[in-house]
Structure formats: structure tokens, C-alpha cells
Amino acid sequence: MCYVALFPQLVAGPIVRYNTIAEQLHTRTHTRSKFYRGILAFQSGLAKKILIADVLGGVADAAFEGGNLDALHAWIGALAYTFQIYFDFSGYSDMAIGLGLMMGFRFPINFNQPYRSISITDFWRRWHISLSSFLRDYLYIPLGGNKKGPVRTYINLCLTMLIGGLWHGANWTFLAWGAYQGFWLVFERLLGKRSLYSKAPYFVQVALTFVLVIFGWVFFRCESIGEATSYLSAMFGLAGDTAHGLALRPIHLLAGLAGAVAIWGLPTTQELIYKAKPTWVLPLQIAFWISILHLHYVSHVPFLYFQF
């Protein structure tokens, strides 16, 4: 009952399973250091949500709901959603981890710099770790995992990702997104560790994986397969003569730049809160209080994962 009532992890995904914190329910320590780090994690998560995810969410909404776009602005819209969904959910996870620390609980990391992944397989080791491990333990392994030959392994991977897609909602786009992820997981296994791709420079692997992830998020964001197909066509410059652009403002550029720095230039939030250097803590306080002030001037924007 204590576990079920542990509110930081109730709403958006598993976050932690009972056996992860069972011992902590009996014995844990409350320290000033934990409470301080918990505050920093919570502040970081709120700043991610308000100042990056919500700002870029406006760009993503305009792109995906505004009709045909030219290629440049279609890419900008897809990139905005790619940033939005990451900072929205990693922000929620940081807030949950921070609240847990304030109460003496240590929750496992849920995002480990997923947009630095060098493959889709690597991406799923870093993205929404609590969900991917849940799918692994309760779907992939019970189906046989990789213990019943390569063909069965490929089938199990695809089934796991298809069901993982449907977990987000009963929509063909989620099924397509799961199939897309399963295809790349199988394809990478077929290539093996000695493929030409694996010998490419690190930044090439990261860039290519990031582009593949962006294409996947298009299916995830659209309401129908037709919309997703049209949007992908626009990204390749096939929108036709009715294509138009987006109304971008300096704040959108600033949020995108801050997001890029956070993704590719900074360690994880968990690493930062344990070092807690003034060069990071002081800017975080400014960002946190700007977030608080911003909440007074905007309508409520729920976390994306609350809908799943």
C-alpha cells in the first residue's frame, strides 16, 4: 500500500517497480544532501517542461496541425516535437526522481542521453528505461527472447515493439511507430557488429540515429497514417504548391538552442545534481524562477505522457 501511494511514480509510466524500492520502504535515510539534490532535480525537470518542452510544443502543434509545410519548416516542426517529447517526459522523470530524493527514495534514471545513441538498439537502452525494461522482462523474455534462434528473436523483437506501440493507445499510428522501431531493431541485428555502419565515425552514427528517431516521432505525433505520410512527404519537399512556413519567434530559437545544449553539451541531470557546481546551480535557479513566473501567464499544459 505504501508503494501504491508513492505519488511521484503513479501517473506517467512505471518509473519504478516494487522490487526496485521494496527495501527502501523499510530502511532509508533522510539527509540534507538528498533533500538538496532532490530540489535541484525537481527544479531542473520543471525548467525543462516549461521553458523548453512547452515553448517548442507550440511550434510542433502549428506544424502538425497547420496543413502543408515546405520542407525546411516541416523539418523544424518534426525537430520541435522531437525536443518537446524528450524534455516533457524527461522533465517529468526528473521531478519524480527529485520528489523521491526529498523523501529519501532513490529512483533509477529513466533517460540516459537518448539522443546521443549510436543505433536504435542503443536508443532503447537509453529512452524511457523503466518502460523498455518492463517490456523486456514481461514481453520479450517470456516470448523466448533470443534463446530460440535468430528467426524467433526477430519475431519477438517485432511483437514486443508492436505491443509497446499499442501500450500508448489504440491507434494505427502507434502500431506503425512500434513496427518502425521493431524493423530497425531487427535490421541492426541482421547487420551485426562488424557492419560498415558500426565502423563509421561516432558523430555520423549519432546523427543518422537521430534522424531515424525523428521519422519515428512523426508517426507517433500524427493522428492518422495518412497525416503521417503527408508530413513525411513534406519533409522531402513533396508538399506541392500550397506549402507554407511557420511563424517562428526568437523565443523558439532560444528554447531550441537551450535544448540542443542540454542534449549534446551537458551531462545527465543525475550527474549534475550530484556534482552541484555553482556554474550549473545558479543558472538553474534563474531558469526555475522564470518557470514559476511563466506559469502565471500561460494556460495549463499537461505532460504529454499523461494521455497514454
Within 10 Å of residue 269's Cβ, how many Cβ atoms? 25
In terms of Cβ atoms closer than 10 Å to its own Cβ (0-12, 13-18, 19+), residue 16 is buried
- The span from the CA of 283 to the CA of 27, in Å, is 35
Enzyme catalytic residues: 168
Residue 263 is placed in which grid cell? 542534449
Strand partners, 69: 244
Side-chain-side CA neighbours of residue 133 (13 Å):
15
- The span from the CA of 107 to the CA of 18, in Å, is 11
Distances (CA, A) of 174 to 130, 167, 188, 189, 258: 19, 8, 21, 23, 29
Helix (H, G, I), strand (E, B) or coil at 242: coil
Q: What angle do CA 117, 283, 113 make, to 5 degrees?
A: 10
Q: Residue 242: what are its φ and ψ, rounded to 5°?
A: -90, 5
Distances (CA, A) of 105 to 15, 17, 35, 92, 274: 13, 13, 10, 16, 15
Residue 202 is placed in which grid cell? 561516432
